[in-house]
Amino acid sequence: MTVKVAINGYGTIGKRVADAVAAQDDMRVVGVAKRRPTYEVRTALAKGYPFYTVTEENRADFKKRGLEVAGLLPEMIEAADIVVDCTPEDVGAENKPLYAKAGRPVIYQGGEEAEVAEASFNAAANYSEAWGKRAVRVVSCNTTGLCRTLFPLYRELGIEDVFAVMVRRAVDPQDAKKGPVNAITPALKVPTHHGPDVRTVIHDLPIQTMAVVVPSTLMHLHAVAVRLKKDVTAKDVLALWERTPRVRLVDGGEEVKSTSHVMELARELGRPRSDMYEIVVWRDGTSVSGRRLYYYQAVHQESDVVPENVDAIRSMLKSEDDGRKSIARTDKAMGIPAPRA
């Protein structure tokens, strides 16, 4: 059976989820919805996605530009088995009644409050928590990044505590309006919300975070300090991550020294939209002294959550009960290499 997926919101995340869903052999895109007739609509139509608008006014704007509209948002929801809400922060919560009315299960993104859904989700950490749920939230790009590398440490080695500083890219690459141009802005409310957000997935992880925004568009970069419960070496930790899906190790000695090189690597890999779905950890930036582990990781905020959305669909619709198998299936379809066995 092919699951019919609708995507509400065709921005940074929505357009990627659409393509990721389209790449799976057990799912198809029955529609995408968007308000404004931008250049991205043209390329989406060329891919064959039926386009829905939110209002009749939107529909008229689309028609003026010769862009075909399949219908309005409620019609799209009706046509779907599940909806992935990829609207901007806090708009997802506003859409809730719409999905409820149609009786469709829905996936929200990490910009929403955890309360919007029955469970928060990261495929490797808590796949089964989404099992059969009607509303699930895929956690944010930063939280996804922290879960990916911390969960295997937590499960295999035990974690005493974590302190992470998130150095956040200011805006996504296409944005030409928001800044800062030349400033570093701390998130003054400390510890930041990222710690509690990780705990919506790994419920008892003692983690504290701080964050700053910097004038870059490419990736977030995390500096993470972990106190482990066991003595290990850096080599052990790296080996553990090599066996972890959606984590990629890179090497400053091969000139991957900056987020710009990580993005260039994604281009070289021939990824769609030059995306890096994996959380990228530097081998030579990982250090263990006693039980203290220090590492840097780069998070591609535009794309790391995309495969998680696909897995969430399978868990919610009970189409695959083994999270590992869902991850492997998603990743194969998306060209993400399997971890070392």
β-sheet with 71-72: strand ranges across: 71-72, 51-53, 27-33, 3-8, 82-85, 106-108, 135-138, 119-121
Contact between 248 and 278 under an 8 Å Cβ cutoff? The reply is yes
Q: Binding string to a copy of itself for residues 29 to 48, with x set by CB under 8 A, is what?
A: -------xxxxx-xxx----
Q: Pick the closer one to a copy of itself by CB: 25 or 268.
A: 268
Least distance (Å) between residue 261 CB and a copy of itself:
6
What residues numbered 249-268 form the site for a copy of itself, per CB under 8 A? 250-261, 263-265, 267-268
Write the CA distances from 202 to 106, 138, 267, integer angstroms. 22, 13, 32
328 makes contact with a copy of itself (CB under 8 A): no
d(CA 219, CA 8): 25
The window from 26-34, 125-133, 149-157, 295-303 that contacts a copy of itself (CB under 8 A) reads 295-303
Q: Pick the closer one to a copy of itself by CB: 64 or 97.
A: 64
Catalytic residue among 30, 116, 119, 141: 141
> What backbone phi and psi angles, to 5 degrees, belong to 180?
-85, 155
181 makes contact with a copy of itself (CB under 8 A): yes
1 makes contact with a copy of itself (CB under 8 A): no
Q: Pick the closer one to a copy of itself by CB: 80 or 166.
A: 166
Least distance (Å) between residue 194 CB and a copy of itself:
12
Write the CA distances from 221 to 167, 212, 247, integer angstroms. 5, 10, 14
60 sits in which H/E element: helix 56-64
Least distance (Å) between residue 335 CB and a copy of itself:
12
333 makes contact with a copy of itself (CB under 8 A): no
Write the CA distances from 135 to 3, 17, 107, 317, integer angstroms. 16, 17, 6, 11
- Please return the burial class of 128, using the count of CB atoms within 10 Å of its CB with bins 0-12, 13-18 and 19+: exposed
List Cβ neighbours of 39 (8 Å cut-off, separation of 6 or more): none
What single-letter DSSP state applies at residue 277?
Answer: -
Give yes or no: 147 in active site.
Answer: no
Select from 93, 102, 114, 214 the one that contacts a copy of itself (CB under 8 A).
214
What residues numbered 220-249 form the site for a copy of itself, per CB under 8 A? 221, 223, 225
What residues numbered 86-145 form the site for a copy of itself, per CB under 8 A? none
Kindly determine how many residues on this chain lie close enough to bind a copy of itself according to the rule CB under 8 A: 80
Q: List residues with catalytic annotation.
A: 141
